[in-house]
Structure 1
Amino acid sequence: MSDEEITLTAGDAEVTVQPDNGGRIGGLRVGGLELLRQGDRFGCFPMVPWCGRIRDGRFRDGGTVHQMPLNAAPNAIHGTVRDGAWKVARRTADEAVLTYRLVEPWPYPGLVTQVVTLTEDSLSLAMAVETHGSSFPAQIGWHPWFNRNLGGPDDQDVRVSFDPEWQEERGDDHLPTGNRIAPKPGPWDDCFGMPGGVAVGLTWPGRLELRVTSPEAWVVVYDEQEAAVCVEPQTGPPDGLNTLPRLVTPLEPLEAGTTWHWTRL
C-alpha cells in the first residue's frame, strides 16, 4: 500500500496525512479554510515515545539511564516518531490507520499505531504504543500548529479559552520545576493540568470555533510564535519519563486520543 500523502474527506472537510513525514497531519481544511500552519515541520505531528523536553536528554528506567539525542540542546524534545516514515495499514475515504516500529535511538522495540478519523465536523486522532518484549516508560501526545489568523483581510486572530486546575511552574530551562501554581495569563509555553480531561477552545471570530478535547489530564499551550498557536494534549507533563512515567507492558499498551470538533460562526 502506498505511503504517499493521503487525503481524507467528509462533507466540506479535508485532511491530508503524511506517513513519510513522521505520520503528520499536513493540513486540515474546513470549507476551504486551512486551519493548520503549512510546512514540513508544522501541521500536527505525533509526540511519541515522549512529549516535550527530557532534561539533558536522559531518563532512567530501573537501574539504567538512557541518553537521547540533544535535538533541543541541552535537552531532547518531542520524541522520535516524527522523524520517521510510517506505514499505511488501512485507509478509506475518511479514515487512515498508520503504524511505526520504534527504532534507535529509542532503546526499546515497540509498535505505534495511529488512527486518523474525519467526519463533517470533527477530526479524531487515536494512538497506542505496544510491546511484545520488555516493558518501558512512554508518553503519547500531539503537537498541532493552528494558524493564528485564517488569512482574510478583515480576519481577527484566534482567541484561546480554557480553565485549567493548575499550571506547572516553568523554570528558566522551560521544564517544570515540580511545583503547581495558579494559572497565569499568557503568552504561554506552559503545561497545564486538567484532571477532568483536556478542553480548550479556539475561536477565529466570525469564522470558526474549534474545541480540542481529550480524556488525558495534561495540555501544553504554546502561543509565543506570531504565525501559530499550539494546543498539545498529552499523557503527562514535559520530562514525564522522569517525573511521571507511564509503563507500556506486554499486557497493557499505552493509549490516548484527542478530538477536534468545529462549528462555523
Structure 2
Amino acid sequence: MSSEEIRLAAGTADVTVQPGNGCRLGSLRVDGVELLRQGERYGSFPMVPWCGRTREGRFRNGGIRHQLPVNSPPHAIHGTARDAAWKTARVSATEAVFTYDLTDPWPYPGRVTQVVELTEDALTLRLAIETYGDSFPAQAGWHPWFNRHLGDGRNGDGGNGDDGVRVAFDAAWQEQRGDDHLPTGTRIDPTPSPWDDCFGMPDGVNVTLTWPGTLELTVASREQWVVVYDEPAEAVCVEPQTGPPDGLNTLPRLVTPVDPLETATTWSWRRL
C-alpha cells in the first residue's frame, strides 16, 4: 500500500486523500480540529461498485449470475475499490481527481473516477462509474467515520464534558432490517437510535451532525438513500449512497456505454 497523501487546503480547512489506500480521506480538519476517525481502515472511503452488503455475494446481470468474494460472511460488503490503489489524475490547491480501473473480482471492466473539491466551508465528493464494454448494475456511495467527540479531551469526551455528536435527520421511512443485516423489503417508521440502518429521503439526503459548542456539519446528496451507523463508541457513520444495501439485487442502477453512474455528496459546516 502506497503511503502517498494528497493534501488540499482552503482557508482553515484541509483534507488529505490516500490514493494507495482505497482513495479514502485520511483526514478532514476544520480550524485544526480533526473530524474523521483516524486509522488505516477509517477516515472516509468510497463504496464502489456496490454499497453495504450484497446478499451472499451474489448478484445477477440479466441471466448471468455472479459470485463475489464473501469478505463479511455471509455477505460481500462495501465494494472492491476501498481495498485498491487508485491513480492520481490531477491535483490543484483545492481539487484533486483520482481514477481506478475495475478488475477482478468485479466481473465487468470499467473505470471509477473520484473528484475531491474543498472550499473554506464545504467538501464536495463526486463519483462516476463508466463501463469499458457491457452494461452492468452498480452502486456508489461514501462511508465516512466521523469522530463522536472532537478535541483531545480525556475520559472519551471532547475536552468540554460533552456527550458527543448529535445526529439529526427527517427520513420518510426506514428499511426494516432482518437478522442478516439486510433490508427485508418492508418500509417502517424510523426508529430511535442506535442504528445500523438504511433510511429513505425522497427529496435528497440531508443529515446534520452537531458537536455542541464547536461545529455543525451537514451531509447532503441528491440521492435518496443513507445508512446511519452510530453503534461504535468512537465514531458515527453517515453514508449517502445510490441505493439500499443489497441494491445490486433489489434496486440496480445500470451502467451503460452511454449512461454512466454519477453521484455526489457535499459536507458543509459552520462554527458554533
**TM-score, with normalisation over the residues of structure 1?**
0.98
Q: Deviations over 1:226-263 (max 9, x none)?
A: 00000000000000000000000000000000000000
Q: CA deviation at 1:102?
A: 0.3
CA distance in 1, matches of 2:75, 2:3: 31
Give the 3 Å change call, closer, same or farther, for CA 25–155 of structure 1 in structure 2: farther
The answer to whether the aligner puts 1:206 opposite 2:213 as a matched pair is yes
Paired AA for residue 203 in structure 1: T
Paired position in structure 1 for 2:123: 123
Q: In the alignment, is residue 6 of structure 1 matched against residue 12 of structure 2?
A: no
2:250 corresponds to which of 228, 243, 251: 243
- 3-state secondary structure, aligned to 1:145: strand
Deviation at 1:112, TM superposition (A): 0.3
Q: How many residues align?
A: 264
How much has 1:153 moved relative to structure 2? 1.7
Report deviation, 1:131: 1.1
Identity of aligned residues (%): 72
**Structure 1: which amino acid aligns with 2:105?**
P
Letter in 2 for 1:30: V
Query: Contact (CA 8 Å) 1:3, 1:86: kept in 2 or not?
Result: no
Out of 210, 214, 222, which is 1:215 matched to? 222
The residue type equivalent to 1:24 in the other structure is R
- Say which of 173, 179, 187 aligns to 1:172: 179
Distance 1:114 1:75 in 2: 26
What are the ranges of 5 or more consecutive residues in structure 2 without an aligned counterpart? 152-157
Task: Sort the Cα spacing of 1:155 and 1:261 in 2 relative to 1 into closer, same or farther, 3 A.
Answer: farther
TM-score (norm 2): 0.96
Distance between the aligned counterparts of 1:54 and 1:99, measured in 2?
24
Q: Output the CA distance in 2 between the equivalents of 1:96 and 1:127.
A: 12
Amino acid at match of 1:212: V
Partner of 2:30: 30
**Where do residues 56-67 of structure 1 align in structure 2 (5 Å cutoff)?**
56-67=56-67
CA distance in 2, matches of 1:105, 1:11: 41
Aligned to 1:185: 192
Q: 1:177 to 1:160 in 2, by over 3 A?
A: same
Paired residue secondary structure (1:187)? coil
Which whole-Å CA distance do the structure 2 matches of 1:120 and 1:108 have between them? 38
Q: Give me the whole-angstrom Cα distance separating, in 2, the residues matched to 1:262 and 1:8.
A: 17
Q: Distance in 1 between matches of 2:93 and 2:99?
A: 18
Residue 88 of structure 1 corresponds to 88
Where does residue 103 of structure 1 map in the other structure? 103
- Name the counterpart of 2:155: none
Shift of 1:15: 0.1
How far apart in 1 are the matches of 2:100 and 2:204? 27
Q: Does 1:21 align with 2:46?
A: no
**Aligned with 1:197 (options 193, 201, 204):** 204
Q: CA deviation at 1:132?
A: 2.8
CA distance in 2: counterparts of 1:118 and 1:10, whole angstroms? 6
Q: Which amino acid aligns with 2:190?
A: P
Between stretches 56-65 and 117-126, larger displacement belongs to 56-65
Residue 51 of structure 1: aligned partner: 51
The match for 1:232 among 232, 239, 243 is: 239
Q: Distance in 2 between matches of 1:72 and 1:227?
A: 21
Paired position in structure 2 for 1:153: 159
3-state DSSP of counterpart to 1:90: strand
Opposite residue 209 of structure 2, the aligned amino acid is: L
| Matched AA of 2:112 | V
Q: Report the Cα offset of residue 99 of structure 1.
A: 0.3
The runs of 5 or more residues in structure 1 that have no matched partner are: none
Measure the CA separation in 2 of the matches of 1:192 and 1:170: 11
In the alignment, the residues of structure 2 paired with residue 247 and residue 7 of structure 1 have an alpha-carbon distance, to the nearest angstrom, of 33
Cα 1:155–1:13 shift into 2, 3 Å: farther
